[in-house]
Amino acid sequence: MARKYFGTDGIRGTANTDPMTAETALKVGMAAGRIFTRGAHRHTVVIGKDTRLSGYMLEPALAAGFIAMGMDVIFVGPMPTPAVAMLTRSLRADLGVMISASHNPFHDNGIKLFGPDGYKLSDETEEQIESMIEAEMQSALAESADLGRAKRLDDAEGRYIEFVKNTFPRGLRLDGLKIVVDCANGAAYKVAPAALWELGADVVTYGVEPDGFNINKYCGSTDTRTMCRMVREHGADIGIALDGDADRVLVADETGALIDGDQLMATVAESWNADGRLTGGGVVATVMSNLGLEHYIQGLGLKLVRTQVGDRYVVEHMRAHGFNVGGEQSGHIVLSEYTTTGDGLIAGLEVLSAMAQTGRPLSEVGRRFDPLPQILENVRFTGNPPLEEAAVVKAVAAGEARLANTGRILIRKSGTEPLIRVMAEGEDEALVQGVVSDIVAAIEQVSG
């Protein structure tokens, strides 16, 4: 079935432009409310959001849809995506909703849905909701006396902070460590600094003054330059950069050098494997992860399993095959011993625990392998994705022939933006750059 609304991570688009309108949000609330109203108990949905201006439009629209179907609404305000997933389970809610476009700029927004188990909905359930969004819902509306109610959960921040702190090894503290944390002017702007400070760290903050427009703007995991500079200027031991909804993280070592999600997965996998905690016999990553990670994991006697891009697909494979460590190069790190989705703050704490336990700097702890040269370029397009055009197919085939067995090419359409992502990696950086440039040029030519 062709999907009109849902992409790789919920529904996403430019705020107040179809499909990211109040009308669509209302219909999503009604459709999801109808599907998740099952049984005779009082039904509940948890709604969180990040700090975008448009959240004020989408939050009440969603709530109206749920209330019209007889569901009670619990507002938790600006909270990380993993916090919404956790609270959905903790409160025994029937559904969780996060209003966020993650790492996108402020003018975009999105709707992510979680089931009562705290996991993102399956493709099948999303398709079921899609089929009902444009259907006539009048007959399914609740009776006047059965309308839902709405309330705010006043201690939501405290609940999540305590949950995060409890993932840190008992008896271990962050005393003596100076941490720069960049919250991207997003959903974690209160909870991340508080959790780190309560664990004993000396915390230097950035990106903690949201105004509705500055989420992910020159800050966060998509623009780490200021965070890296602040690590050097403040003599910090580590920098932690979250994205707008705090489900992904990138870190910088004490020199201000960036460490990506692949290195973080390698660090956690090695540590957990040594402690006998790693399950599944390896790590689940995506097709975007560096070949260097694959070689390193194999060198530990483990396996690296790749899925399509999207943390939900990583999680699905982890659940089906018993893995407890997975993630994406971009910084979605999923540690299923604690969470049902990526949690940037908890992943950062895992790195900090390795530093605290070993007494070694992050430049040693967090760099487990030498990555192969990998180049990624994004090409914006209008209309249909030009991947099937003859010139593009020819350029890709030529690039594969040039790389032969020394590397690989991955080309895909973004699931959240009108972009073609062109990635290649191999042993020869100049060759890899030439291959990417030729493919990008072909895409630009046919897409105008």
Catalytic residues: 102
Query: Is the bond into 19 cis (omega within 30 degrees of 0)?
Result: yes
Only one residue has tokens 């006396």, namely 145
The closest alpha carbon to 85, from 351, 282, 346, 331, belongs to 346
Query: Alpha carbon 185 to chain centroid distance?
Result: 16
Question: Can you give the C-alpha Rg of the chain in angstroms?
Answer: 22
Cα–Cα distance measured from residue 152 to residue 94, given in angstroms and rounded to the nearest whole number: 17
Q: Which residues contact 400 (CB under 8 A, 6 or more apart)?
A: 409
- What count of other Cβ atoms lies within 10 Å of the Cβ of residue 326? 31
Structure tokens belonging to residue 56: 């004020």
The closest alpha carbon to 35, from 120, 140, 144, 117, belongs to 140
Cα–Cα distance measured from residue 306 to residue 226, given in angstroms and rounded to the nearest whole number: 32
Cα–Cα distance measured from residue 387 to residue 396, given in angstroms and rounded to the nearest whole number: 10
DSSP state of 211: -
Inter-axis angle of helices 344-358 and 191-198, to 10 degrees? 20
Tell me the β-bridge partners of 409: 424
Q: Which residues contact 286 (CB under 8 A, 6 or more apart)?
A: 306, 307, 308, 309, 310, 313, 314, 328, 329
3-class SS of residue 152 = strand
